[in-house]
Each structure stands twice: as structure tokens, then as C-alpha cells.
Structure 1
């Protein structure tokens, strides 16, 4: 599959990457619509923002290493549901909230995941 890969300030490349595999707690979505987010534009022009994971090591929650895939705002149809996923089924129409949080910071404990550290 093709993806917009972020390598650093003013360094975004469209590349062929291996399609991610569905694992426990994850669903596979076939995108219907996606766009370039304002944070993608900031990444391109200014580099990583304060909220961005370190580009010197793995993301603290996902374990993913840089580079990162941009264009994280999308809607689509669930194609495959990973083990342990509840309340979502294949063929459900979904909109993605592109946050990865562990819910342990003060904001997360209040359900304000968009403000998590």
C-alpha cells in the first residue's frame, strides 16, 4: 500500500509500505475519505511539535519507530476486527479519533484524551 511517510521537517515521501496486520485490540479500516490534518502541515513546515513522540526511539505506547505515517484523519468501513475488540463489527461505518493514549495522566483520567500528556 502507499503511504505519506514523515521523516523530518520538509521531508515527506510517498512510499510503498507493507500493509499493517490486524492484531489484538486493533481493527482494519478500508478508508472512504481521508485528509491532510493541520498537524501534518505543521510537521512538514516546522518539524515535530511538543506532542509528537521522540524521533530518537520507539513511541511510548505503540512501540513504533520513526518514520511515521501521516494523514490520520479518516472515515471508512471496518473490514477486519482483531481479537478483544468489542462494540465494533466488520462492515461498521466508522470515523477515526486519531489518539493513542493510556488514560493514566490527569487529563486521561477525566476522559479528556485530547489533552493527554
Structure 2
């Protein structure tokens, strides 16, 4: 591969920021479109610059990642105001580790009894 050293480039107005550093700064500021445009210009001049390819791919990934939140089926309010609640404690007599001890040992102890006693 070709190794590229990114030095401060000089322009007509004197010295300016390294364009790769500028692209990295735009990425950190969440200015993804600006970063992608700058990286595209840099890659037109040098298509083998892996640092610029990384910055461009990262900006494209983050740009697509932000838009994912718009497609949530349930909003935050729906989740917080949901009336279907889970019980904090288990129902009595349903534990597998501790069987119920207060009942009689017979099989009829768990069944309801009618008024006539059957």
C-alpha cells in the first residue's frame, strides 16, 4: 500500500488546517454530510488514502445510524404509560423451589370446596 503523510497544506491565504484533520473534526461535531463531502474531494485526489476511507465510511455509518430511531414502533410514552404490568411478587403456591406448606397433604387440599362440602 501507499503510505500518505498528512501535513498541513498551504493555500493562497497562508497555512490552513490539514484537510484530513478537518474531516475528522467535522465527524466529531456530528457534521456527517460535510465530512462525507470533504472525504469525497480528498479521495478524488488520492483514492488509496485509508484514513480518509475510514472517515468517510464512519460518517456514512453514523449518518444511517441516527435515522434508525425514527422507525421505533413503540414510543417512550407508550412504554412508560403501558397498563400491562408484571407482578412484583410471584403468585402463592407456584414456586418450584418451595412447595406450599400450609395446605393439607391430600389432593383435595388444592381444589375448591362447594357449599355442600363436595
**TM-score (normalizing by structure 2):** 0.20
- Whose helix proportion is higher, 1 or 2? 2
Larger Rg: 2
- Whose strand proportion is higher, 1 or 2? 1
